[in-house]
Structure 1
């Protein structure tokens, strides 16, 4: 994925670079926390992201393709991710009553419980980082 570069040619100052570096450091700090928290719970950060996407979806259910779009993954990669989550009892697949080709994915009770615990930990970490993030964002 390529982000377009600002063609304005505006030169950034030292403070701009320091602000961008601080933002990236805070972002990386949160992502590292997420990796450690997910691993401690017995899943990967990517699996945690999948559980979050499913919980946030309408009716808490997505197709493999919809989840792939949410996670910026290819459908075959998402299928493997879901196979691993299904094997440990975090998600289940449901065939549509009206279209047998459509398979929905939803959280199991165990998946909801694990997600709740991890989401609370992530929210607490964001609360801890918020003053730093607010400071950095206000300087942009």
Structure 2
């Protein structure tokens, strides 16, 4: 078979990208199903997870969550409201900057995110292996 390139990417490169996209989609679908089984949407799980994403603190601002979720701030405010109504998070006014709203997990939210994050760990390992394989073979010819 001829090893043609498309915009500098050969067949093997296309295969690596396809495999990565496939495994990434499997990981995301796993997460969607795991979140649903825990009574959450995938977006709710991601928001809960992202409240824990910043070193030295256990909360996130609305703006930080919007960036992490790649969403508009008004959409994140609505998501936080739904999670607050479900007893998963609570808002607090920042002591240093009263314009800043902190989003904190409740004990219920913490239990959910810890349980789901643990389930995701093994799947994340599988995805990491695919990324490593693609990285290792990226420089090798076809």
Q: CA deviation at 1:117?
A: 0.4
Which sections of structure 2, spanning at least 5 residues, go unmatched? 1-5
Q: CA deviation at 1:69?
A: 1.5
Please tell me the root mean square deviation across aligned C-alpha atoms, in Å.
1.8
Q: Which has the higher helix share?
A: 1
Larger mean Cα displacement after TM superposition, 128-137 or 16-25: 128-137
Residue by residue, what CA displacement relative to the aligned partner does 1:2-53 show, whole Å, maximum 9, x if unpaired? xxxxxxx952111111111011101111001000000100111111111111
Asked if structure 1 preserves the Cα contact closer than 8 Å seen for 2:24 and 2:127, the reply is: no
The one-character-per-residue Cα deviations of 1:84-136 (angstroms, maximum 9, x if unpaired) are: 11111110001233443322111111111111100000002223444444323
Runs of 5+ unmatched residues, structure 1: 1-8
Out of 13, 26, 48, the residue aligned to residue 16 of structure 1 is: 13
User: The residue matched to 2:92 in structure 1 has which SS?
Assistant: strand
Count, aligned residues: 132
TM-score by length of 1: 0.85
Q: Is the 8 A contact 2:88 2:108 kept in 1?
A: yes
